[in-house]
Structure 1
Amino acid sequence: MIRADMISTIGRKYLTSNIENDEYSYPKAFSVVSLTFTPIRNSAGRTFEKLDIRFVKDNVTVLIETKQNFTKADEEQLSAYVEYEKALTGNKTVAILANTVNDNVKVWRGVVSDSDLMQKETALRSMDEYVDFYTSKINDKEKVMQNTYKLNEMLHRHSIPEKLRSQFVGTCLLALKNGLDYSTPSLTAAQIRTRIKEVLEELLNSDINKAEKLALLNRNVLGDQYVRQLSIAAFREILKFIEDNILPFINDKSTSGQDLLNLFFVTFNKYVGKSDRNQAFTPDHITDFMAKITGVNKHSVVLDPCCGSGSFLVRAMTQALDDCATATEQENVKKHQIFGIEFDENIYGLATTNMLIHSDGNSNIRQGSCFDLADWIKDAKPNIILMNPPYNGQRIHLPKKYVATWTKNKKEDPSKGLYFVKYIADTLNSINHQAKLAVLLPVACSIGTSGEIARLKREILQENTLDAVFTLPNEIFYPGASASACCMVFKIGTKHNDVSNPDTFFGYCKDDGFKKKKNLGRVEQIDTGTGKSKWVEIEREWIELYRNRRSVDGLSATHKVNGDDEWLCEAYMKTDYTKLTERDFQQTINDYLAYLVKEGHIYEA
């Protein structure tokens, strides 16, 4: 394909040449922004400085190096341009080798390495499509949710218990992704289980905790009596459905693929028994938002001390990998910068499986209580903490010295999870290590101005800063836990009353563009005017308000607070009366009436 056709296909309006012949000089670009350009040399001493074609839209750059007939050796040149681009703009990249004598192309999402090669990309696309490599596709999400619901019904029909389903399906999905062959007619169900075990052993080969993780997966999944009772026909039916209806939507080489995989786990974990209804698995778009506001990048060391199925860890890893310029940087992120702890054995197995599906060196996920791993946390030295602690932790989940302060009839954590924040902050402060912590907590922690919650709020602010609080939509965990939640952001190791600190930012983030849908939970909505996801624009607004600390009536406020104050936007923002309707008034009256009935102040007739 000739260069003019390449430019036309991707979109000339996105072309960003800065020298003749539509080429792009990185030395010139670096000099314009007063950065020092350091040329990269190959093994023969040759330097690479001028890219053939460059396109930019939003925060995505497409780099094309043209050849008459490219070879493996040309990848080194393209890789150098990716490194320049990351140093110059920090943009996410799509890197392409393209022939001029035919239509052959080779495409990488991000780093030019075997793991980031997009083998199915055999033709050039438009710029909008390349930008989509880094954004979620709502139609695929809905399809996965629908197929997950159908799969749940199938597992119910084959007597797989609810608590086992996520881990069982995750294990099957992992095996299928790595070449499990289950179609041979002579295979028995026992032989399929053996083949799945072999896949797991190979994947965990370099994991220092291999024996422990294999033992858990064998005992809790493959060795479970309900899995062992599956007939060969039932096993094949389940594997076939996963292969045909789940696996095609999961491309772990793209951000949208990562989103879909997390969505699969989160959606599936909503099908739990009544005893587990308070398990609050974090929705994927909220993990994405929290990773962005804490600024996760390739330098971040991320910890989730209550990692559940691993959604925060996967999201943080995705964002960090997108910031990398080389395969070496990516490998370092996977092996040395992602840390997780999970108390529950079964959910720990799910987190392990989730990270393995994402090709992560998952040896830094530990099973146990974060309160017993203080030294491990100190050694990790995380500078970003993302967490969603249990809101109703029982005595077994918390340290004895804290439980000893509870009254005898107290069954659940009176701090509603705030004690986890205090513990992590204290652990890092003990080694004078600064970090940023974003945590999901029930709204009760924000409005609490007395008792255990107020005490912890005051103590946390003695050594740490409350940077921001976001009030999240009602029923954010629907159809799982029913708690109303907020996201608090702390600066660990910076005193709240430090004169350099701005006032705390409060965001009223009640509308995320999601709507409840039967059997599917909360579903992302499309703007009928633009055809794009409403959430994408809403998230952009939330982040812009926070980063610029802007006060907008009905949306946000800034206010100086202490541990005795309410930490909620509703207490400080001004109402935008222009947006109020008669329906809003009626809803408020209804809510107040329901409150009076609930508290016993009035009685229904």
Structure 2
Amino acid sequence: MIKKATYRTEDQVRDSAKIILGFDAAEAKVQQGTGQITTFNQLGFTGINDKPDGWYLPDDHNMPAIILETKSEAEDISNQKWIDELIKNCNIVATKYKQVVGILYNGIDVRVFKNNIEDTEASITLQNKTYYIALFTKNAIDKQRIYNLTKKINDCLHTEFGIKNLYHRMIFTACALVAKRYDAILIKGMDFSLMKNSILSTLSKSLEENKKQNLKLDLLIEVYSEIKMNNASNQEAIDNFIKWVSEISDCVNSDYWNGEDVMGIFFNEFNRYKKKSESGQVFTPDHITSFMYRLIDIDQNDRILDAACGSGAFLVKSMCNMIKEAGGINAKKAPEIKETQLFGIEFDREIFALACANMLIHKDGKTNLEQLDTRTQEACDWIKSKSYKTNKKGEFQKDKNGNLILTNNYITKVLMNPPFERKYGCLTIVNNVLLNVPPHTKCAFILPDKKLEKDNGAKLLKHSTLEKIIKLPEKIFSEGVTTSIFIFESGTPQNNKEIFTCYIEDDGLETVKNQGRQDIKDRWQSIEDKWVEIIRKQSGDNTIKWIKPSEHLSYQVPEKEFEISEEDFTKTMMDYLMFKQGIDVKEFGEKLLTKVLYSSSVESKDDYVSIMLKNGGDCSGQN
């Protein structure tokens, strides 16, 4: 007997939508609800007896309105007649509201229309009403303004406040941004002591709840409290700092999450002032974090590890992109992404504090951040504990076959830019990560081009597969080191499988005076799209090579063919003959030039100059 599929009725879908959207409770200065009894006439649209399935109508007509149209699960909402029905109701509401969101929902699929134009980037699952209201309140981020503000803040803290340590300037600013995020009182005219204490007080209060999960957040307060000023009496400098921090905070708090993270710009701009930290960190440019996120196909359900997280660039980029995919910062899944899907380790105490601040700026204090050394067994156990079950004693549990038992929330992807130098344990860090994440985890690392060849990287291939090497443009890092992205799959030995390699020769960025390399002509996005597709297809570019791991573990740049012109040959022969005769080439050349020029007749007509040599030769050219 074949069991018939059961579908929820339109009434059942409407009832569930009411709860999800939050239309089920009274709200001041708003008419909201669902049903098929209430007419538009009753809702204030005189003489119109059509009945919407759901409505959100604020008394303030400058606010967005929402109209819901529901169907049973058996209905296909791609049917044009259901779209027409929704648009008809939206047009009724549009007679009073400038901004109307129309939602077509069958309990499974969702289609969203902003002022009758479908929003193809909207969440594919039904969200709370705050999400749909926010669709009309997105603010684009002025990247150049962030660059300029960051430079002003850095210069102010350095010259006016006398904070000599770059990381202290970054931490002081980041803490001010966290405090601003949590409504600290920072106003023009307050003295330095009051400003610093206001930041500290707000910081302490904002961390109380988060510290229940992550006690290491106390370190942020410790580091902030240790920052000393040489001068704190310049009121104009204090007022400017507060104004500039408030401006950046407004950008961070906007609902514009298009993969361009404000703090990514902020930290990268600050980091231009110091080439490299004492712990070997080389901070990852924002456009490369975006590229690597796409290279290993991360989506909103992945759980990301960065075991050398620095200021948190990969974690924040992942958070931004995953939340955008889930439907934006007001989506139901956003808190889950922040709290359970991001894992970071940082060894340096001050940079760890910076990473904590970076996450808190995004109202995320619950991310799993730990101050550990990934070269140690303690860090290995911490990584393993994020994927495998432990008992009450903290011991890892095994099944009857002796295999570790995965949790439901295990690490699925790794994004990392570990410290490059051998003395900081670069390949030890990479090795420990590959050995302690679950098998078949995709792991992308930025490393110097020849790192695996110079430091016995072949040992990694005994337990993991190096699938791809993507050589990055030469100027990515200001330190002069040339790098590649190495993509591994953990838990599976190489066994001589060939490695896909390619070379991205240009990222489209240009050097701006005193502002570093920037995408001033907006070239990178199309370059990124092109290369993601090339690497996915593993074809479409003449730099692609397949290499044998027994021969190479780096992209092999083709050697230029040896060429020599007749002129080069003649010059070499002449130089050799004059050397044999003891003739000074430079002196001879100068005498010859003088003799030719000043023993010749020169004629000039219009823009044309003729030099007639005594022997009848002609050296003519346009002026």
TM-score by structure 1 length? 0.67
Superposed displacement of residue 474, structure 1: 1.4
**1:464-513 CA deviation, whole Å, 9 max, x = no partner?**
111111111112122xx331111110111223238xx6x42212112010
After TM superposition, give the deviation of residue 458 of structure 1 in Å. 2.0
Q: Distance in 2 between matches of 1:212 and 1:227?
A: 31
The structure 2 residue matched to 1:353, chosen from 349, 353, 357, is 357
Greater shift in the superposed pair: 469-478 or 337-346: 469-478
Q: Is the 8 A contact 1:68 1:100 kept in 2?
A: no
Tell me what 2:555 maps to. Answer: 568
Q: Select which of 80, 92, 100 maps to 2:94.
A: 100
C-alpha contact 1:298 1:333 (8 A) present in aligned 2: yes
Cα pair distance change 1:143/1:192, threshold 3 Å: closer
Asked if structure 2 preserves the Cα contact closer than 8 Å seen for 1:42 and 1:76, the reply is no
Q: Secondary structure at the match of 1:373?
A: helix
Match of 1:44 in 2: 15
What is the SS of the residue equivalent to 1:497?
Answer: coil
Aligned counterpart for 1:366 among listed residues 367, 370, 392: 370
2:500 aligned with 1:488: no
Quote the residue 1:388 is aligned against.
Answer: 417
Give runs of aligned pairs for residues 203-222 of structure 1, distance below 5 A: 203-208=206-211, 212-213=215-216, 215-222=218-225
Answering whether residue 544 of structure 2 is matched by residue 556 of structure 1, we say yes
* Aligned match for 2:56, one of 70, 88, 93: 70
Residue 202 of structure 1: how far off its partner (Å): 3.5
| 2:608 match | none
Q: Does 1:538 align with 2:527?
A: yes
Change in CA separation of 1:178 and 1:230 when aligned onto 2, cut-off 3 Å: farther
Q: 2:434 aligns with which of 422, 425, 449?
A: 425
| Separation in structure 1 between the aligned mates of residue 433 and residue 255 of structure 2, nearest angstrom | 32
CA distance in 1, matches of 2:300, 2:6: 21
Identity level (%)? 26
Against the structure 1 CA distance between its residues 344 and 39, is the aligned structure 2 distance closer, same or farther, given a 3 Å change threshold?
A: farther
For 2:240, the equivalent position in structure 1 comes to 237
- 1:196 and 2:199 correspond: yes
CA distance in 1, matches of 2:486, 2:343: 20
Distance 1:220 1:391 in 2: 26
**What do the CA deviations read for 1:382-413 (whole angstroms, capped 9, x no partner)?**
1101101111254xx5xxxxxxxxxxxxxxx5
Residue 233 of structure 1 and its aligned partner are, at CA, apart by: 4.9
Which residue is 1:21 aligned to? none
> Which residue of the other structure, out of 283, 293, 296, is the alignment partner of 2:295?
293
C-alpha distance in 1, partners of 2:128/2:525? 29
Report the secondary structure of 1:204's partner residue. Answer: helix
Contact 1:348 1:367 in 2 (8 A): yes
What residue in structure 2 maps to residue 512 of structure 1?
A: 507
Residue identity opposite 1:423 in structure 2:
N
Name the counterpart of 1:30.
none
Q: 1:79 to 1:355 in 2, by over 3 A?
A: farther
Structure 2 equivalent of residue 339 of structure 1: 343
* Matched residue, 2:381: 375
Change (3 A) 1:517 1:461: same
Residue in 1 that maps onto 2:403: none
Cα distance in 1 for partners of 2:326, 2:276 equals 43
Give the secondary structure class of the aligned counterpart of 1:434: coil
CA distance in 2, matches of 1:67, 1:45: 12
Distance between the aligned counterparts of 1:511 and 1:79, measured in 2? Answer: 49
Measured after TM superposition, the shift of residue 344 of structure 1 is 0.7
Moved more, 302-311 or 142-151: 142-151
* Structure 1 residues 188 and 551: CA distance shift in structure 2, 3 A: closer
Q: Would the aligned equivalents of 2:342 and 2:368 in 1 still touch at CA under 8 Å?
A: yes
Partners of 1:492 and 1:243 in 2: CA distance: 44
Higher helix share: 1
Q: Which amino acid in 1 is paired with 2:381?
A: D
2:322 counterpart of 1:320: yes
**Closer/same/farther in 2, CA of residues 110 and 227 from structure 1, 3 Å limit:** farther
How far apart in 2 are the matches of 1:348 and 1:546? 33
The whole-number CA distance in structure 2 between the counterparts of 1:379 and 1:293 is 26
2:440 is the counterpart of 1:434: yes
Query: Are 2:115 and 1:121 aligned?
Result: no
Deviations 1:238-278 (A, max 9, x none): 1122224x334434532247423211111112212776595
Alpha-carbon spacing, 1:334–1:79, altered in 2? closer, same or farther (3 Å): farther
Looking at structure 1, the residues matched to 481 and 555 of structure 2 have their Cα atoms a distance apart, in angstroms, of 16
The one-letter code sitting in structure 2 at the alignment partner of 1:492 is S
Amino acid at match of 1:565: H
Please show how residues 110-259 of structure 1 align to structure 2 within 5 Å. 110=122, 112-113=127-128, 116=131, 121=136, 140-158=142-160, 159-161=162-164, 162-183=166-187, 185=189, 187-208=190-211, 212-213=215-216, 215-226=218-229, 229=232, 233-244=236-247, 246-251=248-253, 253-256=255-258, 258-259=260-261
Deviation, structure 1 residue 43: 7.3
Q: Structure 1 491/257 Cα, relative in aligned 2: closer, same or farther at 3 Å?
A: closer
Q: Distance in 2 between matches of 1:441 and 1:334?
A: 28
Tell me: CA distance 1:292–1:273, structure 2 relative to 1, closer, same or farther (3 Å): closer
The correspondence of residues 453-532 of structure 1 with structure 2, limited to 5 A, is 453-454=455-456, 457-478=457-478, 481-497=479-495, 503-526=498-521
Shift of 1:192: 2.3
- CA–CA distance in structure 2, aligned partners of residues 433 and 190 of structure 1: 53
One-letter code of the match for 2:477?
F
Are 1:471 and 1:569, in contact at CA under 8 Å, matched by a contact in 2? no
Change in Cα spacing, 1:324 to 1:214, as seen in structure 2 (3 Å) is closer
Shift of 1:317: 1.2
Q: Which residue of 1 aligns with 2:593?
A: none
Alpha carbons of structure 1 residues 39 and 313: separation in structure 2 relative to 1, 3 Å: farther
Instruction: State the distance in 2 between where 1:543 and 1:121 align.
Output: 31
* Structure 2 match to 1:9: none
> How far apart, in 2, do the equivalents of 1:471 and 1:486 lie?
4
2:428 is aligned with what amino acid? Y
Seen in structure 2, the aligned counterparts of structure 1 residues 218 and 79 have a Cα distance that, compared at 3 Å, is farther
Give 1:117 deviation, angstroms.
Answer: 6.1
Q: What is the RMSD of the two structures over their aligned residues, measured on CA atoms? A: 4.2
| Cα deviation, residue 75, structure 1 | 6.5
Give TM-score scaled by structure 2 length. Answer: 0.65
The one-letter amino acid of 2:196's match is: R
Q: Is the 8 A contact 2:65 2:99 kept in 1?
A: no
Q: Which runs of 5+ in 1 are unaligned?
A: 1-34, 49-65, 86-95, 123-129, 398-412, 527-532, 587-605
CA contact (8 A) 1:435 1:491 kept: yes
Is the contact between residue 468 and residue 505 of structure 1 (CA under 8 Å) also seen in structure 2?
A: yes
- Gap change, CA 1:552 and 1:258, over 3 Å in 2: closer
Q: Which has the larger radius of gyration?
A: 2
Residue 445 (str. 1) matches residue 447 (str. 2): no
Distance of 1:295 and 1:172 partners within structure 2: 35
CA drift of 1:361 comes to 4.1
1:542: Cα distance to partner?
Answer: 0.8
Give me the whole-angstrom Cα distance separating, in 2, the residues matched to 1:67 and 1:361.
39
Residue 313 of structure 2, aligned match among 297, 311, 324:
311
Picking from 531, 534, 547, the partner of 2:536 is 547
Whether the 8 Å contact between 2:441 and 2:490 is mirrored in structure 1 is: yes
